[in-house]
Amino acid sequence: METLRTPESRFENLPGFPFAPQYTEVPDGDGGTLRMHHVDEGDADAPIVLCMHGQPTWSYLYRHMIPLLTGSGLRVLAPDLVGYGRSDKPTRLEDYSYQRQVDWTTAWLKANDVRGATFFGQDWGGLIGLRVVAENPERFDRVAIANTGLPVPQPLPEAVIAEIKRFRNEDPTPSLPEVMQALGNPDKKPFPQVFAYWQKWCWESEDLPVGLAVTGTLDGRAASPEETAAYDAPFPDPSYKMGPRAMPSQVPTLPGDPSEEANMAAWSVFEKWEKPFLTAFTNNDAVSGGGELVFQARVPGAAGQPHQHIDGGGHFLQEGRAEVLSEILAQFVKAD
């Protein structure tokens, strides 16, 4: 597997991110290795909160929360997924899959012997992290999620499936305004049909505007140009961007998609999960809105928990609602 490694100079003097890098080698699945980066802050003996980012962000997303959580007496581990941040970046779109991200993250988890952790995931951090938790339950004491899911394709009319496939294979690449309009879903189309706009735009945009895709959609605070540049820092040129481009298309939205069976197996674990399970979704996320209800209904450990419906914050609530989210997580860990 051919990979790229972002020069360390790209990460110098990033605003609000003074944390020392930590690195772990994991098998790439093709006979080689990949280097994964993570942040490790707080007392080494403190309770661990494992914070996982999604697409197209990296551990920089947690820069506001890390000092708040460590100040509450917690230890924060925040890895960068392969293809993101300071982690290595395979160079082909086809190098990335849902299963590979689960495998790489699991290898990182075991190499660092993470135990007794509270998992927190948002966006793809939840999709991947929940699979990791389900396959390694003995390493986690509790789970908290925000603006994420564990998707399993739902039945759709054949005509809708055919139209989604036709759109993805034949239509021109949508513009970002067209993507945002579709995600607003004024026509109330099925989610897979709406999400196909994001999948197609990411897959086909050779120079995906990562920083703008993050900071241009924030709710609750305005990002500085330097912060937008920090989200672009891992990607010196388009050849480094295959991870952010590829991963949306790995979400299993249609029957028979890869990882459908693996996600169903993970659900079978969570339907018996008795450990504490907390949701803290925002009330204005166009992608995951209402997704917390299925976890509250199906996970036994979610019963009786102080689930939170956060006012505002948009999709990337770690940016606009860092204080309230950090307090929710700190109280969740200390409740036992």
The model's confidence at residue 143, banded by pLDDT at 50, 70 and 90, is very high
For 216-230, the DSSP string reads TT-SSSPPPHHHHHH
pLDDT in tens, 268-279: 999 999 999 999
Residue 185's pLDDT is what?
81
What is the rounded average pLDDT for all residues in the chain? Answer: 96
Contacts (Cβ under 8 Å, ≥6 apart) of 321: 220, 282, 310, 312, 313
Threshold 0.85, pTM exceeds: yes
What count of other Cβ atoms lies within 10 Å of the Cβ of residue 258?
A: 12
- Measured CA to CA in angstroms, residue 36 lies from 10, 106, 123 at distances of 16, 12, 19
Beta bridge partners of 329: none
Report the sign of the C-alpha dihedral through residues 168, 292, 53, 79, in that order: negative
Contacts (Cβ under 8 Å, ≥6 apart) of 76: 39, 40, 41, 42, 48, 49, 51, 62, 65, 66, 69, 70
Q: How many Cα neighbours within 13 Å face the side chain of 36? A: 27
The model's confidence at residue 183, banded by pLDDT at 50, 70 and 90, is confident
- Measured CA to CA in angstroms, residue 130 lies from 105, 149, 206, 261, 296 at distances of 11, 8, 30, 14, 15
Which residues are the active-site residues? 123, 285, 315
What count of other Cβ atoms lies within 10 Å of the Cβ of residue 88?
A: 26
Residue 314's pLDDT is what?
94
90 neighbors 1 (Cβ within 8 angstroms):
yes
pLDDT in tens, 18-50: 999 999 999 999 999 999 999 999 999 999 999
pLDDT in tens, 208-228: 999 999 998 898 788 999 999
325 neighbors 280 (Cβ within 8 angstroms):
yes
pLDDT in tens, 234-272: 999 999 999 999 999 999 999 999 999 999 999 999 999
Domains of the chain plus CATH, in order, are 3-153+253-334 (3.40.50.1820), 158-250 (no CATH)
